[in-house]
Chains A and B, each alone.
Chain A
């Protein structure tokens, strides 16, 4: 690991000032904020991240979980994953988020990892994590070793010829289905970004993963008022402590035997947490039956572009979605 200067931020403003000295908030940033550290320190040990300055934001008062005037929930960026997962309001009104968080990592990691840090979790693509190989995300212009390489775990939706890395987070899939808003504070003030717009597709610039600008810091995630029942289903190689091969987050309400207010997001298959408006269109206003679910799943995966080792994910993701929708109907 390369040497760095350690700064303990005493205020949000001071953290923003420190962060804004970096030329980018994306891959290769010279200044990094550290909260839980579970992802950043891992990558610093691998020399994938080599910041010159580390700004410790743990002393900032950003860990509260409070109701919003609109009837939603505001989750502070420093709220630990375990605290969010076990929070009564989250368990009651946003079950999908609690389930997604508890399906990820380990109890120890969830005690450390934060809402904001999880939001910015980096891909597990083995080539991104190994500096001996080319990777356009880690080092633009060096090629994508995963295309034609070991890509069993990687994405089939939203990929490009430059990058096929998967967003590995479970939390972010749930937040996408919940239509969360990401609250940011930066050198130019505050702004709110819908999670659907927060992540960028790789295109020709896979090193840019989010809309974050230098000095911008995630202060909270805001959830709109609860819509209906919600659920997270995660399929993986072993039952615990493993990233998703395919997952589905469903928010749904049944009204007079018809599906209303349905939102569908998928994990393990997308270059970013994958919202499927196509699947939602097939479901909205329909009766919840097997044929409808299958049509929604077909629609969700119609643009899938599998790689040499992950063709199985197309059907796995479809079945994951059908299963999740079936379970959601029972819960709704």
Chain B
């Protein structure tokens, strides 16, 4: 029935690659840049970006790498206007210095290197960025990270991992509930929340409960089937 193999890429989105569960940000950083790490799409693209910059940069800039190094280092100390924040994500506390403008979404993806949460519209209209805050699903793009000191945040990485998938993740694989996979982590975060929300039993009830998550591939029938299967199984 299922035509896709149950691999992590398909479960938590195309960019989430073999990050060990409960990894600290430091560990994660090392893992994504370390020589022993298998080539991930994310690290490949970021290296390609750097290489592309050098290749297309004016000769003067390319010939003076020494001037580029201090610029990179200048970003390390706390920049003006940043504020301290301790953020609890997937059961782990992270100490951060953040520009208050940083959305929860950007903080998760860029600062904590948890790229399973996706940026779609960035305006609360698509649901790709859905995460749980204190057990409730929200759009992480429309919230500043600094507003979440003391909150318990769960992302797709905290819901399940290869080997011990959440039943909803397993149901999405079983029912082929995605095509490109970009909306999938947001769909699953919403679907996991639906398990605890006052939602009626019918397919129409599920559609109503899930309408905050857009799927441009149009995998909706299979998404509804997956959500219903997971609801029956729990």
Chain A contacts to B: CB under 8 angstroms:
1, 3-6, 8, 34, 36-38, 41-42, 45, 54, 56, 58, 82, 86, 105-109, 111-112, 240-241
Q: Known: A5-B100, A108-B138, A109-B139. Is A58-B208 also a contact (CB below 8 A)?
A: no
Q: How far is the CA of A111 from the CA of B136 in the complex (A)?
A: 7
Q: How far is the CA of A6 from the CA of B213 in the complex (A)?
A: 30
Asked if B124 contacts A109 (CB within 8 A), the reply is yes
Residue B113 interfacial (CB < 8 Å): no
Asked if A4 contacts B143 (CB within 8 A), the reply is no
Q: How far is the CA of A38 from the CA of B208 in the complex (A)?
A: 20
Q: Could you say which of A3, A34, A106, A108 contacts B144, with CB atoms under 8 Å apart?
A: A34
Asked if B137 contacts A6 (CB within 8 A), the reply is no
Q: How far is the CA of A195 from the CA of B50 in the complex (A)?
A: 56
Name the B residues within 8 Å of A38 (CB-CB).
124, 139, 142
Which residue, of B83, B122, B123, B208, has the highest number of chain A Cβ atoms within 10 A? B123
Q: Could you say which of B103, B143, B197 contacts A107, with CB atoms under 8 Å apart?
A: B197
Q: Which of B93-122 contact A (CB under 8 A)?
A: 99-101, 103, 122
Whole-angstrom distance from the CB of B72 to the nearest CB of chain A?
22
Asked if A106 contacts B122 (CB within 8 A), the reply is no
Asked if A107 contacts B101 (CB within 8 A), the reply is no
Nearest B residue (CB) for A129: B123
Which residue, of B122, B127, B144, B208, has the highest number of chain A Cβ atoms within 10 A? B144
**A-B CB contact pairs (8 Å), 18 listed:** A3-B100, A4-B101, A5-B81, A6-B144, A8-B149, A34-B144, A37-B143, A37-B144, A38-B139, A45-B122, A106-B211, A106-B213, A107-B137, A107-B193, A107-B212, A108-B137, A111-B137, A112-B142
Q: Known: A37-B142, A38-B139. Is A108-B130 also a contact (CB below 8 A)?
A: yes
Residue B35 interfacial (CB < 8 Å): no
Q: How far is the CA of A38 from the CA of B137 in the complex (A)?
A: 13
Q: How far is the CA of A58 from the CA of B81 in the complex (A)?
A: 21
Asked if A54 contacts B124 (CB within 8 A), the reply is no
Name the A residues within 8 Å of B142 (CB-CB).
36-38, 41-42, 109, 112
Asked if A111 contacts B138 (CB within 8 A), the reply is yes
What 14 new A-B contacts, CB under 8 Å, besides A107-B193, A109-B124? A3-B99, A5-B81, A6-B146, A37-B144, A37-B147, A38-B124, A38-B139, A86-B198, A106-B127, A106-B213, A108-B138, A111-B137, A112-B143, A240-B211
Which 10 A/B pairs are nearest by Cβ-Cβ distance?
Answer: A106-B212, A6-B100, A240-B211, A111-B136, A108-B212, A38-B142, A108-B139, A41-B142, A112-B138, A108-B137
Asked if B123 contacts A42 (CB within 8 A), the reply is yes
Name the B residues within 8 Å of A34 (CB-CB).
144, 147
Instruction: Count B-side interface residues using an 8 Å CB cutoff.
Output: 30
Name the A residues within 8 Å of B138 (CB-CB).
108, 111-112
Q: Which of B132-171 contact A (CB under 8 A)?
A: 136-139, 142-144, 146-147, 149
Asked if B190 contacts A107 (CB within 8 A), the reply is yes
Q: How far is the CA of A192 from the CA of B227 in the complex (A)?
A: 46
Asked if B144 contacts A107 (CB within 8 A), the reply is no
Q: How far is the CA of A41 from the CA of B142 in the complex (A)?
A: 6
Residue B209 interfacial (CB < 8 Å): yes
Q: How far is the CA of A3 from the CA of B144 in the complex (A)?
A: 13
Name the A residues within 8 Å of B146 (CB-CB).
6, 8, 56
Q: How far is the CA of A36 from the CA of B101 in the complex (A)?
A: 15
Q: How far is the CA of A107 from the CA of B187 in the complex (A)?
A: 12
Whole-angstrom distance from the CB of A169 to the nearest CB of chain B?
15
Whole-angstrom distance from the CB of B216 to the nearest CB of chain A?
14
Nearest B residue (CB) for A82: B136
Name the B residues within 8 Å of A8 (CB-CB).
146, 149
Whole-angstrom distance from the CB of A58 to the nearest CB of chain B?
6
Q: How far is the CA of A240 from the CA of B146 in the complex (A)?
A: 31
Name the B residues within 8 Å of A111 (CB-CB).
136-138
Asked if A108 contacts B99 (CB within 8 A), the reply is no
Name the B residues within 8 Å of A105 (CB-CB).
212
Name the B residues within 8 Å of A36 (CB-CB).
142
Q: Which of B33-78 contact A (CB under 8 A)?
A: none
Asked if A54 contacts B100 (CB within 8 A), the reply is yes
Name the B residues within 8 Å of A6 (CB-CB).
83, 100, 144, 146
Q: How far is the CA of A42 from the CA of B198 in the complex (A)?
A: 28
Whole-angstrom distance from the CB of B159 to the nearest CB of chain A?
16
Name the B residues within 8 Å of A37 (CB-CB).
142-144, 147
Asked if B212 contacts A241 (CB within 8 A), the reply is yes
Q: How far is the CA of A56 from the CA of B147 in the complex (A)?
A: 7
Q: How far is the CA of A271 from the CA of B6 in the complex (A)?
A: 52
Q: Known: A6-B83, A41-B144. Is A241-B139 also a contact (CB below 8 A)?
A: no
